[in-house]
Structure formats: C-alpha cells, structure tokens
Structure 1
Amino acid sequence: MYKFIPISSGGQTKDLDDLVKRVDSGMDQGLLPVDVFCDDAVFRAEMVRIFGQCWVFLGHESEIPNAGDFVQRKIGLDSVIVTRDAENGINVMLNHCRHRGSELCHEDKGNTRHFKCPYHGWTYNLKGEFAGAPHFNDAYENFDRKEWGLKRAPKVDTFHGFIFASLSEDKTTLRDYLGNAAWALDAIVGLHPKGMRALGLPERFQVRADWKSGAENFCGDAYHVSTAHLSAGLTEFIPDVRQVSTIARGYEFDNGHSFIGHELTKWGPDFEMWAYPKEIREQFDLSRFDEVQIDMIKNAPPTIGTIFPNLSYLRFPQPATLGGRPVPFTMIRMWQPVAPGVMELWTWHFEYAFVSDEQAKEAYLAGQFGFGSGGIFEQDDTAVWEGIAKAAASPWNRRDGLMLHYQQKRGGPDPAWKGPGKFHKSIYGEYLQELFWRRWVKEMSNKDVHDRDMSAGEECSKETCK
C-alpha cells in the first residue's frame, strides 16, 4: 500500500462542537465555514464519528471470486483485508496482528490459505481466526485461540456484488443505510442478471485536497462543468460541454445520498440509456423495474452521484479516442482520507459481465481518457479542489471566519414526481450539496461513539496520519 508523507494542515479548531453547529446553522443561510476542510480536529473526529460508524464501500465480489482470494482496502485510516473463505463467505479484518500490532498483509491482492505476521509469525486463517504460532507449546499455556483472532468488521454485506462493511455494532443494515437510494442504485447496476465485474484493481493517486471536496462535488455539482472543464469543449472532446449543466437533473434520497441525472436524449435518440449501443441495450432486463425507474433509465439516467460518506459513481458517454463516438463507461471511486487536506483517490472501472472484453476495453479507455489520473476532466477537478484545501489552511481566512457561498436560487422539487425521494428538474440550487452537509452534521454530532483518546481536540500527528 502507498505510504503518505504528511504535510501541515491548517491547524485545528478550538471547539469542534461549535464548528459543527456553525455548519448546521450556516446551511440555513446557504453558508459553509471554510474550516471544515484541512483541519486536524475535524479530521480525527471524522475518522471515528463518520468512518467508524457508516457503511463504507470496499470492493466487488468479482475481485475475490475464489476461496483464498483477498484484497487490501481501507476504512478511513484503517487498512483492512477483505477475503473469501472456503465456505464462500466474505470477511473484513483489521490488517494488524494481535500479538504486537504489526501489519500482516503488504500485498494489494492475492490468494492464500492464511496470513502470517512477519514479526513473530502469529498466523490467522481466512476468517481471521487464530491458527497458530511458532514454538506454540513452549511459549504459551492457557491460550484462548478464540480470543486472539483478528479484529473483524461487525457488519459486512453486499449489494449487487458490491461489498460494504461497517465498524458500528448498531442494527442499521446496509439496505437501511442506503434507504431509497437503493432504488436508483438498482437501476444503475442491476440491469442484467449476470451483474457487473471489476475491470481490474483500482487506480490510486494522491490529491492534496480534502476527501469531502470530491464527495460533495459528485453529489450534486454540475454547475462547475462549463467553467472548470471548458478545455473539453475547446478541444472538441465533448463539444457541448458548456450545456451539460442545463440538461442536469437532481435525485435526492435518504441519509445524505444523491445523484445527478442528465437528460441525455436531448442530444439525440442514440443517447438513450446512457448511450449504450442497441445490441447492449437489448440485453438489459427492465422487467423488474417500475415505470418511473424505466423512464429514468431511458431518458434522464443517474450519471454521477455520492453515497455518503465517500463512495461516488460515474457513468457517462464520452469518446475513448479523440474524435471517436461516445462510449458509456461505469466508474466507482472512493475519496480515501489520508490526512487533513489530503486524500487518495481510488478509481475502479466496471462493466456488465455479459459485455465482450473488446467492448469492456473500449469503455475502460473512455473512462481513463476523461477521469483517469491523467484524464482531461480529472486534472481540472483535482486542481481546483487543491485550492479549497489551501483556502482552509489560510491563517487569514481562519482569522476572519470565512464562509463559502451556497446560495443559488431554488425552484423546489417536482411535485409531480412519483418515484422515491425528491426529483429536481434543475441542478441549480445546491440542495444536494446541502443534503451532504446535513448528513455530515448528523454524524459529527454523534457523541455516543467511542472517541477514547482519539478525541476531537487531539492534534493529528505525523505518525497517526501515516
């Protein structure tokens, strides 16, 4: 796994609870305190109150199809091992030996029968159960094997093959957590009985921006496209890029989850259903969807979205080569927190399992062309997000209590909408961004979680941020 060399943050707020209240009251006025970004105290509290409680995406079953397969992933700052055991179960375990705490796994993926600590040799099976240790009979007596297994995520579940875990021991299921956003997700990833498959390991690269900047952007910001991505229009990569926000719609769901939809058919009938070719569209099974879902899928499908806290989705038609025809690609990304004002962006490419390798490769190239680490759109986004972290680290801004502007005019949700949640005919209004911040406030106000010595006022040191 990549090791990050920390940089200085903007400092730490003196009163975290007061900041959370200011975010809440600020949203009533369409304002956001800039010090929610790039702050030591905020970051440490987020790791416990958000990432220690919420359901977090970790990967896909197609990445670990066989017994013994594993991948190494992250929940907040914690490295976890995701395995498939001999009984076909999926396990999520903290990547630290129970003996002295050393990291067990240093590979991104592989296949194994056990995990052996490189320090003293304590060994664990695919379920994280203690399996043995060198010189065991000489070194130990009255040893309780059941007590000394690896720490395991209390809750692990899947949705159409997408693996999630939660470190919270409450009774909130994954379905409860997704709420009515599952209705939209179902229409995105459940179009074929064979499901989707990952096209490889996630691409990872570091961005000196807060994880919330990416999550908030994908939850509802189409306003930036005509400015930040103007180069895509000037180069004719996407000639109508300046009009993208005018055909954008908003889907607002439970628990801080939301999607942007685009009325792509305004660009022509070939753009129906994300512009999938006819031979692929004909294999989609729409029989189990309701009328509203079918209309959404065909005419204004979800193209971008965020499942709180840090899972975002992207499916959009764009060329795989300059001047080529638009190709729809599906991308899942994680805004992985690393340190205050620093994240690592993880990006997976997915395609429907029935699609040929050749077509999947074309979709992969289309996604990389726009949103790979060197993609046309990705370079634009990450550059401006880094500026937000710098603004949050500014002593001048912090001294003056700078507030950011969230006051676009709002037309309100469509009263004729018959689907779950709320539907907005215009993406202007920043109501989906407010939804994100309201959920952030809810989680950050939860004092019942076990902060222990990772309290909100504790500075994030260089060692703890590694």
Structure 2
Amino acid sequence: MTPSTDSRNTSAKEWVVEDVAAGTFRIDRTTLIDEAVFEREMASVFGRCWLYVGHESEIPKPGDFKARDVGNRPLIFWHGHDGAKRVLYNSCRHRGALVCRIPEGNARGMSCFYHAWTYNSTGALNGVPGDEGYGEHFDRAAMGLLSPPKVDNYRGFYFVCFDPGAVGLKTYLAGAADYIDLVADQADDLEVVPGAHEYSMDANWKLFVENSLDGYHLLPLHKTYFTYLEEREGNTLDRDDTTEALDLGNGHAVICVHGPWARPVARWTPALGEHNRPQVEAKYQELVERYGSERAQMIGLTDRNLLVFPNLIINDIMGVVIRTITPTAAGHTKIHQWSLATAGEDPDLRARRLDSYIAFQGPAGLATPDDLEACEACQAGLRTAPDVTWSDISRGMHREHAGQPSMASDELQMRAFWRRWQSLLD
C-alpha cells in the first residue's frame, strides 16, 4: 500500500494496518513526519481527549497558581480565594494577550500588561481602566477569564477537555483509573516536589509515547545504567522476570515490571541507606494492614509505566514521576516532569528518592538522554519514509490474539495507543 500524497484527506485506516492472520501491525511513517498529520492530531486528539494539567498539591494555598501549556493552549491552574481550584484560559478577554507571564506564584489577582484589565483569583474581571468608554451595556460579569468546557480531577490529578461533548473523566480513564489508584494509595498525603524538569526533543510526540511503554529497549539501550546499578548494589534486571503489558481501554496502557531498584514507598535496597530500612519496611507493613498483602504488593513492590492517552505518563518505579507531553510540530516535542512523593517524608529518604530519580530519569541522568537520542535517531531515519514506508509494531501479536498474557517486552501497549489514535483521526 502506498501512502497518499495528501495526508489532509487520507483515512487513518490507510496509516494503521493490522493483519491478524499474518500477525502484522504496521504504521505508515508519514504519521510521524507530516505537518498536516500533526495539525489533524491537534484537532482530533488533543482537541477532543482529556489532558492532564497538574496535581492538587501544586497549588495548596489560596492564590497559588501554575501557568502551563496543555495541548498547545496556555492555561492557568489557580487556587481561588473562594477555595476552589480552577483551570482558566490564559488569555485576556480584551485583545487576547497572556494574562499570566510567569510560570508560578501566588496572587490575589492578575493584570494584563497590555491594557491593564485585571482579574481576581476566581477569574472574574474586576478592573477595567477607563471603563466609561464602553457605555452602559458593557457587562463586566460576562468578561471574566473563561474555563475549558470540561475540568475535573481524579484522586487529585486535574484534567481538562476542550470538547464539550466528551464523556466524563472517570468514564474516559477506564482501566487507567485503577493504576492511578495504585499511586494515590501509596500515602494519605502526596505532594509534587517543588521544581520541575523541562526539556525537548527533535522527534515526533508519538515516538516518546512508544518509548515510555517499551520494555523491549531497557537492557540494550540502558546498558550503562544497569551496569552502574549492578556495580553499586549487585542488582540486575532480568528480561525474563515477571512482566506484563495491558490495554486499559481508550488508548491507555501500562507495563508492569519487577525491577531491581529501590522504592521508598515499600521496597528497601542499600541505595536507601541502612538507617532508612526500618521505616521503609514499616511502610510496607502499613500497606499490608490497610489493603491486604496482594494489593500491598501491587502498590509497593510492582514497578509500572502508565500512559493516560494522550499526554500523561506516570512512571511509578524508583519513585513516582509525572511526565506530560506537548507536541509543538511533527518533529518537535516538549516534555515536563515532576516527582510525586509522600508529604512529610524523612529528609534523608526524600534526598535519596530524588537522587535515584535524577540518576535514571532526569534529563541529564543515565537513561533519559538514551531515550531522547533513540527518539531523535528514529526521527532522522524517518526521512526515508518515501522509500521505506512502514514501521513494525507486531511483537507479541501471536500472544495477544491467542488470549495469552502479553509481556512488557511485547508491543500490545503500543498497539492499544495506535488503535485509539486511528479511531480519533477517522
């Protein structure tokens, strides 16, 4: 099959081709390099799906705010002085300028620098210089900052949807909600650690999604990290350890691995320090008492990478890392990430948690640069798309369609993503 020369009008059925009998699942590489495809995605995927904005702990006090781009739309995540947490469009109702031009802070109100229209922390317009120039019919109450059509949160994770006809958040999350629960149940009081990592890659956003769910690349690509881990603690990752990949519905997916690294919530290794061992083991016992041994093991001892389609990755491995994906062009993507931890955590345990996170997942760590290089190498190789048309995502199809469990090194999780992507673009 030859890809269409006009991707604006091409059916996505031509781009994602699954042949169960042959055991093949192929992706037309046009979908990863074409700007017209990117424009369709921004309307059909990012314009219709629920997108992650932030965690409630990031704006704990009235007036606290974060300014963020979500789906390439500028938003303000703001804790109003009336007690409500809101998501507002970061755009003055007068001429459209950004109202908030700093990434975070605390404010009772914000004033647009252009003409000084001023809004309070609920988004209401409460100041217009020279408002007599608008006459008696000017309705200030109707000119406050607007909110996206749908805003909701699940277990403290806030999402927005720009499609007023979309299903509710809980319905949308489908099976992914269960895995968010496994994060939220780690402690009664979780908080995003102050500070964030922000970086970008010269590659398509879907390559980053694939990489985030790909258990097949761990040993060959991250050899340096696992050598370091083995030399430091004597721990190794065995590809044949119990692993699992699951399609959670609506494009969401997860891989579960029993890894060799420490988990401050419940799994002690020497990296956490001998003096921290009692409190880590006590935490695990607390989980057992609260949830039972089977669920405690899922919460505390199983490592997971979760995709909430399309823009949220939760890496729950040596700690919890929240990553958001913001596509800016067919060949460019921005990534933001934060660490989520137990509030009031022992300072030494917190430091060791962050050290482990930065060593593996930080943008200058031993793994993330590998991942970004791999994605950018793929993007460079995709320049051959006119001649080398297809990418293969067939690994494990024989297990999937035989009803057998899929392993994390399979590609069921990527197929779940691409099937949902295809359905939205058509």
Residue 46 to residue 238, structure 1, CA distance change in 2 (3 Å): farther
Cα pair 1:82 1:91 within 8 Å, conserved: yes
Correspondence for 1:224 among 217, 220, 230 = 217
Equivalent residue, structure 2, for 1:334: 324
Equivalent residue, structure 2, for 1:107: 102
Equivalent residue, structure 2, for 1:161: 156
Equivalent residue, structure 2, for 1:172: 167
- Residues 268-319 of structure 1, C-alpha deviation per residue, up to 9 Å, x if partnerless? 9999955582033233366357x864453365x2421211001111122xxx
After TM superposition, the structure 1 = structure 2 runs for residues 46-445 of structure 1, keeping only pairs within 5 Å, are 46-194=41-189, 196-219=190-213, 221-235=214-228, 236=231, 243-244=238-239, 246-264=241-259, 274-275=267-268, 277-284=280-287, 287-288=290-291, 293-297=295-299, 301-316=302-317, 328-392=318-382, 394=383, 397-400=384-387, 402-410=389-397, 412=399, 424=405, 426-445=407-426
State how far apart, in whole Å, the 2-side matches of 1:349 and 1:182 are.
19
Cα pair 1:311 1:333 within 8 Å, conserved: yes
Cα pair 2:406 2:412 within 8 Å, conserved: no
Residue 367 to residue 442, structure 1, CA distance change in 2 (3 Å): same
Shift of 1:387: 1.6
Give the 3-state SS of the residue equivalent to 1:80 in structure 2. Answer: strand
Residue 53 to residue 257, structure 1, CA distance change in 2 (3 Å): same
What one-letter code is carried by the residue in structure 1 that aligns with 2:257?
Answer: H
- Residues 244-274 of structure 1, C-alpha deviation per residue, up to 9 Å, x if partnerless? 464422232121111111134xx69999955
Cα pair 2:152 2:159 within 8 Å, conserved: yes
Shift of 1:133: 0.9
State how far apart, in whole Å, the 1-side matches of 2:327 and 2:319 are.
25
State how far apart, in whole Å, the 1-side matches of 2:291 and 2:263 are.
24
- Residues 55-92 of structure 1, C-alpha deviation per residue, up to 9 Å, x if partnerless? 11111111100111100112111111110112221111
What one-letter code is carried by the residue in structure 2 that aligns with 1:315?
Answer: D
State how far apart, in whole Å, the 1-side matches of 2:148 and 2:252 are.
23
State how far apart, in whole Å, the 2-side matches of 1:293 and 1:404 are.
38
Give the 3-state SS of the residue equivalent to 2:334 in structure 1. Answer: strand
Instruction: Extract structure 1 runs of 4+ deviating beyond 4 A.
Output: 237-242, 267-276
Shift of 1:331: 0.6
State how far apart, in whole Å, the 1-side matches of 2:299 and 2:58 are.
27
Residue 413 to residue 271, structure 1, CA distance change in 2 (3 Å): farther
Shift of 1:23: 2.8
Is 1:16 the counterpart of 2:8 in the alignment? yes
Deviates more, 1:267-276 or 1:90-99: 267-276
Normalising by the residue count of structure 1, what TM-score does the alignment of the two structures yield? 0.80
Cα pair 2:72 2:327 within 8 Å, conserved: yes
Cα pair 2:264 2:349 within 8 Å, conserved: no
- Structure 2: which 5+ runs fail to align? 270-279
Give the 3-state SS of the residue equivalent to 1:212 in structure 2. Answer: helix
Correspondence for 1:30 among 17, 25, 49 = 25
State how far apart, in whole Å, the 1-side matches of 2:203 and 2:232 are.
26
Alpha-carbon RMSD: 2.8
Cα pair 1:104 1:118 within 8 Å, conserved: yes
Aligned length: 408
Shift of 1:188: 2.2
State how far apart, in whole Å, the 1-side matches of 2:154 and 2:314 are.
14
Cα pair 2:252 2:309 within 8 Å, conserved: yes
Give the 3-state SS of the residue equivalent to 1:436 in structure 2. Answer: helix
State how far apart, in whole Å, the 1-side matches of 2:93 and 2:205 are.
30
Residue 197 to residue 358, structure 1, CA distance change in 2 (3 Å): same
Deviates more, 1:402-411 or 1:201-210: 402-411
Residue 98 to residue 217, structure 1, CA distance change in 2 (3 Å): same
Identity fraction in percent: 25
Normalising by the residue count of structure 2, what TM-score does the alignment of the two structures yield? 0.87
Give the 3-state SS of the residue equivalent to 2:381 in structure 1. Answer: helix
- Structure 1: which 5+ runs fail to align? 1-11, 317-327, 416-421, 446-466
